[in-house]
Amino acid sequence: MDEVLKDWNRLSLTQDEGARVNLDNNKEEVNKEYILAARFLARRVLNVEAIGRTFKPLWKAHNGFQIRVIGSHTILFVFEVESDAERVIAMELWTFDKHLVLLQKYDGSCPIRNLKFLKAKFWIQLHSLPVNKLNWKTAIEIGRSVGEVSYSEQKGEMIGGNFLRVRVEVDVSKPLYRG
C-alpha cells in the first residue's frame, strides 16, 4: 500500500504546477464582435481568399467582415454589426464550391472543437398534393416529418401555386429519409 501512495504522490501536481489562473478577472470591454463559426463540408483544402471573394458581395455586410482560419475546414466570420451576422444566418443555406457550409453563432465561450455542426435549413417543395391540401397547415405537418420547421411570419409564402414549400432544419449527420 505504501508503494501505491508513493506512486500517487509522484503523479500529483506540485504546489507550483497546481497554481490556478483566474480568467474571470479579465473583463476588460473590447470592441463587440459578432462571430459566425462555419464548417465547410468539402474534401479539398480551402482557399480563404476565394471564400472572402465569394461571400463579400453576397452578404453585403455594412462594415465588411474578417475571416479567421481556425482549423481544417473550420473558419470564423467576424462581423462588427450584429444585424449583418443575423442576416447571414437568416438567409442560410450557403454553399461554397458546390459544397454545403454549416453556420452557427459563436460567442467565444467554449473551444471551437466542442462546436457541433449538425443542422442546416433547407427549403423543401411538396408537389402532387390534392388541391384541398394546398395550405400552410399541410406544409407544416409534412415538414415536421422531415425535421424542425422554421415558421414564417407570412404563411402565404408557403403556398406556391400548385405546390407547397416549407423551410425545415435537417440533421445533416443522418442520412436522408427514403420515401
47-96 pLDDT, tens digit per residue, is 999 999 999 999 988 888 999 998 889 999 999 989 999 999 988 889 99
What fold characterizes domain 34-116? Answer: Alpha-Beta Plaits (3.30.70)
Tell me how far apart the alpha carbons of residues 54 and 49 are, in angstroms, rounded to a whole number. Answer: 9
Q: How far is CA 133 from the centre of its chain?
A: 33
84-111 pLDDT, tens digit per residue, is 999 999 888 899 999 999 999 998 888 8
Break the chain into its structural domains and give their ranges: 34-116, 120-171
Q: Which of 138, 134, 160 is nearest to 149 (CA)?
A: 138
